[in-house]
Amino acid sequence: MANFTNVDERVETKTEKHVRIFLAVMYFLQTVVTTIPFIQGKVTIDGESGYATLTALNLLIQTDGYADRSSIPLAAVGAVLVIFPMVAFFFCVLDSKSRIKYIVSGACCFVCAALIAFVLASVISIGAIITLVLNVICLFMCSQGFQATSMRMREQQKKAMK
Q: Is residue 89 part of a domain?
A: yes
Split into its structural domains, the chain has a count of 1
Q: Which of 88, 114, 94 is nearest to 28 (CA)?
A: 88
Q: Does residue 36 have a pLDDT over 80?
A: yes
Structure confidence by residue, pLDDT tens digits, 65-123: 555 554 556 777 778 888 899 999 998 888 877 788 888 899 999 999 998 888 877 77
As a dihedral over the C-alpha atoms of residue 146, residue 148, residue 151, residue 155, rounded to 10 degrees, the angle is -130
Please state the separation of Cα 150 from the chain's center in Å. Answer: 22
**CA separation, residue 132 to residues 37, 65, 90, 123, 162 (Å):** 14, 25, 20, 14, 46
Q: What is the pTM of this model?
A: 0.78
Give the pairing type, strands 39-45 and 48-54.
antiparallel
Q: Is residue 21 part of a domain?
A: yes
State the pLDDT at residue 66: 56
Domain that holds residue 119: 11-161
CATH number for position 142: 1.20.140
Please, which residues bridge with residue 61 across strands? none
Q: Is residue 62 part of a domain?
A: yes
How many other CB atoms sit within 10 Å of the CB of residue 55? Answer: 22
Q: Is residue 105 part of a domain?
A: yes
Write the single-letter amino acid at 125: S
Q: Is residue 67 part of a domain?
A: yes
State the pLDDT at residue 155: 85
- Counted residue by residue, the chain has a size of 162
State the pLDDT at residue 64: 56
Structure confidence by residue, pLDDT tens digits, 111-151: 999 988 888 777 788 888 898 999 999 999 999 988 888 88
Max CA distance (Å), the chain: 76
Q: Is residue 2 part of a domain?
A: no
Q: Is residue 76 part of a domain?
A: yes
Which of the pair, 155 or 2, is modelled with greater confidence?
155
Q: Is residue 138 part of a domain?
A: yes
Structure confidence by residue, pLDDT tens digits, 8-33: 456 777 888 888 889 999 999 998 88
Q: Does residue 63 have a pLDDT over 60?
A: no
Q: What is the DSSP letter of 54?
A: E
Question: Helices (DSSP H) in the chain: which residue ranges?
Answer: 14-33, 56-61, 74-94, 100-114, 126-161
